[in-house]
Structure 1
Amino acid sequence: MTAGDLKNSLASSSAQNGSLAARLATARRNAALVLRLETLWPALQPTVGLLGVYTVASLLRLPQHLPDGLRLVAITGWLGLCGWRLYRDLTNLKPPSPSAIDRRIESASGLTNRPLATLTDKPAGPADAKTSALWAEHQHRVLSKLGTLRAGWPALLPRTRVHQALAAAVLVAVAGTAFVAGPHALSRIAAGFIPGRDDADVPLPHIEAWITPPAYTPDAPVFLGSSKTSPSVPEGARLTVIVTGLKTHPTVRAAKGMVLTDEATQTLDAQSWKLEVSVKHTGLITLAGRGRVLAQWPVTVLPDAQPSAKWGDKPGAGKGEWRTRLPFEAAHAYGLSALSVELHLTHPGKNTPPRTLTIPLPLSGQPKSIKGAITPDLSEDPWAGEEVTGQIVARSISGHEGKSAPATFHLGARTFHSPVARAVLELRKRYALGRESRNGTATDLEALGETPGPIYDHTGMFLNLTSIVSMLENTRIEPEAARTGAVNMLWDLALDIEDRRKGDDASALASLDVRAAQAAVAQQLRHMREDDNKSQQAREELERRMQTLKDAIARKMQALAAQAMREHTAIPDLPGFSRAGDKAFSKLMQQLERDATNGQSAEALERLQQMEDATERMRNATPQDMAAMAQQMMAQAKVREQTAALRDLTSKQASLLDHAQSRLDEVLRAQSREQNALADDGGDGDQDYGSMPTGELLRRLGLPVPPDAGTAAPPPSPMLDPAKAEEQAAARRTDRANQKALTHALDELKDEFKSLTGKTPAAFEDAQKSMKDARKALADGEDSAAATAQEKVLEALRKGRQQMQDALKGNGKNAMPSFLPAFGGSGGDGSGQEGQSQHGDGGSTPDDESDENGDQQKQQGKRDPLGRRLGEGGDQAPDDGTHVPDTVARQRARDIEQELRRRDSDRTRPQQELDYLDRLLKPF
């Protein structure tokens, strides 16, 4: 057989075993793998043994008792030793040789005489044709006898008894310690091999955790325990965790949608830690430390909604009004921090510069809801009179922002009567809104200055116009700066032209000073409000600016008075008019300064708006207006006189009531002395109270007796001392004469008020009737009836005073507007301020006078509901002696009380008497 025949024999195949070559190659690969495993495992056994020893130590919790630093050193050293041994053993490994692979196949397959070696062997001696044929035949016979070729299973058991004993010892030690550790075995092994990790046998640290809601919420902190319930907290709440008994700092993790932000860790001591984190969104919070989950808390986070804002009814300026009404409503669950209105032009032009007009709305503190309206003066803005779209912007104290639905309305604009002033304002608006170019505006202003009229005739205004034109023509000035400066200066020019339309230079300069002083006061108020500055220096600065404004207003009023004199306009009581105006503005300024000092910025700004309204009406006032207002002031003076007369009449009527009450008190004291004398004599100690009339029992107790509280006739009134009786009779005659005089005074007051207002208070008629009854009772010597009638008089006078106020309010609605704050209100010009006095424009009421004289009334002493000063009357007279009842008198009173209770329970008695007894005994 030749070599080719041998190859064909190896490639031959049978149905069962396939080709011999394929089977032999597979067997050799398997045998090589088995041999590698058998050589690798002995190399790994020392390393595995070392790891097993450390595992036993970990199961016995030996490394865990070491500090983390020493444990890290031990683990590093031991693993280094294992790595060194493994490296040494692996480098000594050699791959199996082909002969070793064949010997493994022969051994595993049970082949004898090493048949696989025949395939590589060669015959000894020289190779001739006969020898080669014989050797080929031999190989063919050997191959034909090969059966299934196997590689066998690797032998992994230690080969020596010593190695077997060591391996068995390590396995027994690991299994035994794992059995002892129980379910904590894995955690012990992990803690032994991982530095800074505790096993399950280490007690958990002490944990205190709570969630603090944001400071702007009213919620209380929520403490977290072992409960699985999910607490509900607001968005932005702060989780605080204090861990005690943990060697390393813990960590907070978020899961299931939870978002944690602003995490902060603080070391309290060596084993105490404090963690803080803000929670957002609902989810699960996990606290982990030293390889373990220390706690888990499901938390439900309530989202913080945006603040709501909406417009009130009818925003914007009405027809002819120069103030813009901005009604607003806003609310948020936790409170509002800022509120404003943002305005945009509804129909901006192509060249209109982008701009947002922001108007802050007043907030007092941080309210949860607010509803109100302000009427700012936006007439100075170039958008005055234009249609704008506004939104209310509300910002909550939690940082969220909400906007209202847009509303469209017109801004208020001042009415200018001068054609030149209106032309200036038209140029100003066109330039500000981008409808007129910069050069075109300068050209138009030059033409306006060259036209004969107020600007051409007045040097100051002409120079002002020239400076505006120069600003516009100066290309070195930025366009925005030129626009802003020109718009402001054109407004001042238009106001100056309008002020000089009817007045002189002094009046115009006074108006200019008033506007400048008002702007200075408004600026200081904003400074005090925004910076929360209420220092002495800020108050002094406000007072200084207020004094400047007061002086400017005084000069304006003097200019109006001088103009009236020049035009020969009759103004009654011109000095009184000036004093009244000065008093009105001074009072308003005092209120403004007091509000600003107390931090009531909204009220202070409202006072300033009232003053601006008054000065605006003063700007348009004519001498005829001053004369009409002077007439109005005279009428108001009469009203104050009538109010003072009514107050004096009420005071005197109360004195008459005091006199009658004093006489009644003297009679009661005489009766009390008589009863005490009888009690001291013991005259009725053994009387049968059951047989006494109810009225008599009540008299014994010193209580008032109803007309039918007993069938027996009342005992005679105690006899007063003749001198005292004569004194009381003389006092009644005097009071009767005074009562008659008060009746005449009331009649005159009624007629005067009717001539002034055309109305008569109906209560005055009732008062006169009660006065007549009081006179009759005094004539008959009935002080009790007189006191009752006089009480009715006081009540009727009180009602009459209120009816006088109502009548004056009604008349004031049709009165002409005034430019004095104390005497005027919102007029037809629409400049009224929201929340202004509801007395109308017609003048002051009796309440005004009462307010002005409030301090004097307080000094006169407090009064009771009947108008009497406390401390007057006989019931307030000092008692010279205090009588303390003895035991017998107290026992007698208790016996009478028990008898009254017995009669109250007797339902057969008259119903009126029972009702009286019920009311009498109810408080006891």
Structure 2
Amino acid sequence: MKVDAPVVVRALRLTHAGMVWEQVARAFWPLAALAAVVFAAFWLGLISSLPAAVLPWLLGAAVLALVVAAVRGGLRFGRVGEAAALARVDATLPGRPLSALRDQAALGGEGALWQAHQAQMRARAEAARAVAPDAGLNRRDPLALRLAAMVALVMALIFGGAGNLGQGLSAVAATFRPPASQMPDIATGPSWEGWAEPPAYTRRPTIYLNALPEGEVLELPKGSAVSFRLYGEGAGVTQDIGPAQGNEAQAPAFEAMQSGVIEVAGRRFDVTVLPDAAPRIRPGDAPTRRADGRLVQDFTADDDHGVVAGSAGIELDLASVPRTFGLAIDPEPREPIALELPMPNGARKEVQAQLVQDLARHPWANLPVTVRLSVLDGIDQEGLSEPMQTILPGRRFFDPLAAALIEMRRDLLWSRENARRSAEILRAVTWQPEGYVDQPLYLQLRAGVGVLEAGPLTPEARDKLAEALWQAAIQLEDGGLADALEAMKQAQEKLSEAIRNGASPDEIQRLMDELKEATDNYTRMLAEQGQPDPADRFTQNQQSQVVTGDMIQQMMDEIQRLMNEGRMAEAQQLLEQFNRMMENLQVTQGQSGGQGQQGQGQEGNQSMNRLADTLREQQRLSDEAFREMQEQFGQGGQQGSQDLAERQGQLREELGQQQGLMPGQGSEQGDAARQSLDEAGRSMDQAEQALREGDMSGALERQADAIQSMREGMRALGDMLGQGQRGAEGPDGQQPGQEGQQPGGQAGQAMRDGENGLPYDRRAQRDPLGRQLSGNGNTITDGDPLAEGIDPARRARDLLDEIRRRSGERTRPEDERDYLGRLLDRF
């Protein structure tokens, strides 16, 4: 009877396959092990390291072993029949049902007993399962040579490489080449490899000298490392371009310091060493002083490869010091001031930055000094600026007693020989202190007299006394204002730290409440004084920052809103801007009527100007994105997109900060302007995401939406400012106290001129993108396209028509016409 149950057929097939594998493994495992060992030797580079005399014999033995193993395996391999598979499966079943089902009854084949027997055997056959193969390699390979060969193969695949295989095959092929005497026409020079690696700071790639075309001049930056690897005997390198590095005969290396020639194995390289120019640094105007007494120094630096570091050195200009009173004696030696210049991340070929440092407590504060800036490049070449003579910025004190204490402090730090003179002055200022010096301060000053008259003054005691005099002068000058300022700064630092560390919302809200309370306290004390910070009085020739209480509250509300929305990075940046603003704060109170409206107009004009700058920057960024898309055709580069995405994100954050400072909150036009700028911010965020994903076309669309939304926001802001100015006009149409000033304000009038002024065909001639063909094209007046713009659809049609016109000009280069054709296919 035929066995055709599916489970039985499957078991027989799998068992048959396993038995075939057993035959292959038993017959050819020596061949597989030998092949794995030979491959591992080639892949690990062992063959190329063998002596040339041994290699032919070893190769012949390996080939012979492989042939013997293959013949032996072929002789031992036997064909496996289906009957053998059936017998193996049948042996695992009770009563061998598979064989029983194949039997034929001699008598009574149709009887009930035989049918019952067959049914019983079929039931047992249903339990048939495939038998696992067993090649018995443990008995045939007791030394586990097959496992050793497998380990060698795995190690070769992990640690070897195709280069080793190529070298091994080359070494084998070399054993079959005829002797050199039989090949007189073939050159037999030694092989070599060479590399020229420019210094890392130049950001140039390494040059493979073997790939350099014959006769081409090798141009290298000064300080490049040139190295060779020689293969074989009798080869050498001669050069006259720089000192040698190392003393390995087979791996000569040297540094390129001058132009010359390199010769190796008959190959000549003419080398031109490019000089590395020293960096340059140019300071801006003389150092200025901020309201908090900090030094501010602008500078620009550049280098042909990049500036690495920079510093500022400040020395006392002793010849210019007025040698009177405590400065009459010679000063104690003091090290020059060394400040590290801030350097941006990334490329530093051109650096424009600002040094800000608090030197108000330095002994040379408010004394003549010499300032000199320096920068270094990658090979430690130094660039120096011209020395500048200036007064070291420091805080000024206007309270008489505070000024006297600061002068004594300066004299003590100038020289400890001034101790007796300072003690006499302290005795004079503390004589009859009633109504003039508070009791706690009187006790501190009398203690200082005791220190000065106790004997020789040590440097440690001098520094401690100088700090006490500084604190006393600050207390006299500012009263409780200094404490309020310090409390506000601490609250700002705590909130910034909490945002950076991802604190809980409850903790951030608590710290925000503390900052609001400290800020209110500080501004209230400023207002009670009725004057700005006394440290600001000396900067009357500088433009001060006037901030109203409403502006401070709006900025705090904007920080709160950003934190509530989870935009912690933007909140952190706006908080830092708030901190900088409060450092130079002046608070104005009691403005009403025309003055209040004038202040609003000033705020509005400032907001309009900042928005105009942001709009111009967005337009510039969009133009760069368009050029990047052009350059990416056929290249697939993404680095430029990532840089543009970073700039787009910064621009979006700046727009968010400007929204928090906009006037007109609660008015119809002000809310409309904020809504338009919100839409612009969302479009900028989408453009940033598209740039990060390399979707330049999508980024351009989102940037265009952002530009349009910003224009609408500026229109609404201009209308609001125009209404505010018209409401402040007098009977003669002029604002009170401002003769001849036109109603509507400059910003509002500019927006109306762009909206209702000259028609398009009478405006300045523009290119298809709507930009003026002459002038700077950045003004927000007389219908500038940055503020108003022509119809976007019309501009797109003009641009498409221009592309079609240029693509049809046969006089243009073929590459340009092909590119224009691709643009037409894409758009």
Calculate the TM-score normalised by the size of structure 1.
0.39
- TM-score of the two chains, using structure 2 as the length reference: 0.43
- Which has the higher relative contact order, 1 or 2, with Cα contacts under 8 A spaced 6 or more apart? 1
**Bigger Cα Rg:** 1
